[in-house]
Amino acid sequence: MNILLVGNPNCGKTTLFNELTGLHRKTGNFAGVTTDVKSGELKKDKDVKITDIPGIYSLSPNSADSENAVREIKKAKADVIINVIDGTDLERSLYLTALLSKLTIPTVIAVNMYDDLLKNGARIDGKRLSELFGMPVIFISALKRINLDKLVSTAKKHREKPNGNAYNETTEIFTLIERNIGKIIVKKQTKREKFTLKIDGVLLNKYLGIPALFLIITAVYFLTFRIGGAATKVLENAVGNISATLKTVMTRRGFSEWFISLITGAVINGVGAVLSFLPQILVLFLLMAIIEESGYAARIAFLTDSIFRKVGLGGKSVIPLVLSCGCTVSGITAARTIEDPSERKRTIFLTAFMPCGAKTAVFGWLSFVLFGGNPFVPAIMYFAGITATIIFGKILLKADKRGSDGRFYLEMPNYRFPSFKDVWRVLADKTREFLLKAGSVVFAVSLILWFLKNFGFSGYGAGENCFLFLLGNALKYLFYPLGFGNAEASVALLSGILAKESVAETLRILSSDVPSLFNSGFSAAAFTAFLLLSPPCIAALSVARSELGNKDFFKMIVFQFFAGYSVALTINLLGIVFYSRNLILYSITVIMILVAVILFRPKKRRYLCATKRVKRNTTT
């Protein structure tokens, strides 16, 4: 048996899917979290297949994710549809219900979040609602698992078609809803709605909204650095002590030098790299999950809409950018909610500029190694990513010549205290994903780097003639203008293509004095900026290729490399000018010469140009 879950965005559909199947799809208290179709087996009956689709408002698709949803409905492979309705916003939800009632597929209405209505004295007349559309109505709470067994049991038994053939036009549907809504629901303003209005009075205030956003984001990255960074240092010291102790023991037991180096330098350090990054990533994802589940993510989109609209990105582009702070893959897939293909493409191009969890962990490590432990480095990189998004978004808009169409519809959910279960599920999923990726990719990179560093054409112990330095010396000339033209930094950036976490691990393996790899603080900042803006890891690149196609994917790679290189070059040149008084004098001299040439061009040349223009006009 096939059951299809259909409903508006942010109605609790994915939470219901997770509870019925035991799977862990991402949830959030804002629209656009689910962007693809996913199926799973009912936990209590493996013969029942549950399918979750992106949220839709109608059966007329206007974006990539809604096309997927409507296509799934029109396949007509579902035995029954469960129409999930947000009980706290019934009137908005019933338009889709009316459209579903016109189909020939048996449908059951699941009024979700009904416990919230009861707490505030509101009531829904389920019998009248059922008679209106010819569908059985079940009141549920997906979050608290109320009436879920009853819902599934009703869906299994229900075989009657809806009775929605009496109205055909959109205006008729709205008239129908308007005429009956007062009879179906008796509702007063809830405590949560009152609380939301009070909080929004501050967080969405014309003058306080942006400063509040700035403080919240700064606090997120500050806490990530302070809490996660402290745990990282403890783990790094522990791994270092284990490595040193094991090296001593293996030396006394007479193990060969190359084997000791492999175990202590590659295996132990590889495992240590994975574990040391975990605290920062978990703290970041915990705070991001709280922001998403509380409903503030939608407010971020609202506050930044006017800013991003100036560079051709609408408010819907903000959600992918926010999600990219957790993982670039999530941001790229979330861009499916954007209706305009041109705007969707630009958004995908720019998602890599936001610091994902892996980049944030590396920035935290670099802040200790290169910037004196400054706790604001990760936050600075976040706002640097926003600034780069605005600047290069403007460049993309000029090239594309197509801006946002001006429409931005975003549902503002009520604030709610994040569910411990949902937050724990996010942390568990992210921990699993990180350990699988880092435990495979970063560990593999560690082993490969050890081999390349210790072996050359002459065998083990090749020193500066090893394979790694041969590769690094071939790459370093590309980065000379950026202030870090050395083999170690070049190879570190190359390893970041596989996984951004590998950048720190590579630098740790290749150099015992990382700061010496950079000419100055400016070149260190240039390295950090290039890491922020250059193309993302291979997992994100793979998803981007499937979303964009080969031609636009290649353009994205070139664009992101150009962005990272140009910004890093600018930072390094500013450092050279700042530290070299002679160069300042030379620069001023060159500028004065150029100004003189422009202002005092020969009059004869100016006269000839004017003469030619007059003759051309006369002929015309």
Structure tokens, 445: 């990179």
Cβ burial of 39 (10 Å; 0-12, 13-18, 19+) is middle
DSSP element (H, E) containing 13: helix 13-21
Pairing of the two strands 459-460 and 455-456: antiparallel
pLDDT-based confidence at residue 561 (cuts at 50, 70, 90): very high
Q: Quote helix, strand, coil % in the chain, to nearest 5.
A: 65, 5, 25
Q: Give the lowest-confidence range in 52-61, 233-242, 270-279.
A: 270-279
pLDDT-based confidence at residue 408 (cuts at 50, 70, 90): low
Residue with tokens 């400063």: 211
- Rounded to an integer, what distance in angstroms lies between the CA atom of residue 288 and that of residue 282? 10
- Dihedral of the alpha carbons of 222, 223, 229, 230, in degrees to the nearest 10: 120
- How many residues in total does the chain contain? 620
Residue 35's pLDDT is: 59
Residue 618's pLDDT is: 40
- Let me know: does 519 contact 578? Beta carbons within 8 Å: no
Distance of CA 10 to CAs 90, 99, 113, 152, 311, Å?
A: 13, 19, 11, 21, 28
pLDDT-based confidence at residue 484 (cuts at 50, 70, 90): confident
Residue 612's pLDDT is: 38
pLDDT-based confidence at residue 508 (cuts at 50, 70, 90): confident
DSSP element (H, E) containing 139: strand 137-139
What is the model's pTM? 0.68
- Rounded to an integer, what distance in angstroms lies between the CA atom of residue 285 and that of residue 303? 22
- Rounded to an integer, what distance in angstroms lies between the CA atom of residue 553 and that of residue 546? 9
- Rounded to an integer, what distance in angstroms lies between the CA atom of residue 471 and that of residue 322? 36
- Let me know: does 78 contact 2? Beta carbons within 8 Å: yes
Tell me the HSE value of 505 on the side-chain side, using a 13 A CA sphere.
Answer: 35
- Rounded to an integer, what distance in angstroms lies between the CA atom of residue 263 and that of residue 270? 10
DSSP element (H, E) containing 50: strand 45-52
- Rounded to an integer, what distance in angstroms lies between the CA atom of residue 45 and that of residue 317? 39
* φ/ψ (deg, to 5) at 283: -65, -45
Angle between helices 420-437 and 269-294 (to 10 degrees): 150
Distance of CA 70 to CAs 108, 147, 172, 419, 501, Å?
A: 18, 27, 22, 30, 39
Residue 562's pLDDT is: 93
Per-chain mean pLDDT for the chain: 80
Sign of the dihedral defined by the CA atoms of residues 227, 229, 231, 234, in that order: negative
Cross-strand pairs, 613:
none
Residue with tokens 């059966």: 59
SS3 100: helix
Arithmetic mean of pLDDT, 487-516 = 84
Residue 345 per-residue DSSP state: H
SS in 3 state form for 266-326?
HHHHHHHHHHHHHHHHHHHHHHHHHHHHHCHHHHHHHHHHHHHHCCCCCHHHHHHHHHHCC
Cβ neighbours of 438 (radius 10 Å) = 25
Residue 224's pLDDT is: 83
Residue 568's pLDDT is: 92
- Identity of residue 309: R
Structure tokens, 289: 């999950």
- Rounded to an integer, what distance in angstroms lies between the CA atom of residue 347 and that of residue 332? 8
- Rounded to an integer, what distance in angstroms lies between the CA atom of residue 97 and that of residue 167? 13
Read off the pLDDT of residues 28-62 as tens digits, 9 standing for 90 and up.
544 555 557 888 888 888 888 998 888 888 887 66
Q: Which has the higher per-residue pLDDT, 208 or 611?
A: 208
Q: Which has the higher per-residue pLDDT, 587 or 276?
A: 276
Least Cα distance to 173 among 231, 245, 101, 250 occurs for 101
- Dihedral of the alpha carbons of 369, 370, 371, 375, in degrees to the nearest 10: -40
The top-scoring range by mean pLDDT among 34-48, 133-147, 255-269 is: 133-147
Q: Which has the higher per-residue pLDDT, 611 or 189?
A: 189
Read off the pLDDT of residues 431-443 as tens digits, 9 standing for 90 and up.
777 777 666 777 7
Residue 57 per-residue DSSP state: S
- Rounded to an integer, what distance in angstroms lies between the CA atom of residue 365 and that of residue 377? 10
Q: Judge whether residue 589 has pLDDT over 70.
A: no
End-to-end CA distance of the chain: 78
Structure tokens, 173: 């549907």
Q: Which has the higher per-residue pLDDT, 605 or 458?
A: 458
Q: Give the lowest-confidence range in 82-86, 261-265, 349-353, 367-371.
A: 261-265
Residue 608's pLDDT is: 39
pLDDT-based confidence at residue 595 (cuts at 50, 70, 90): low
Arithmetic mean of pLDDT, 538-544 = 86
Arithmetic mean of pLDDT, 399-404 = 63
Arithmetic mean of pLDDT, 594-620 = 46
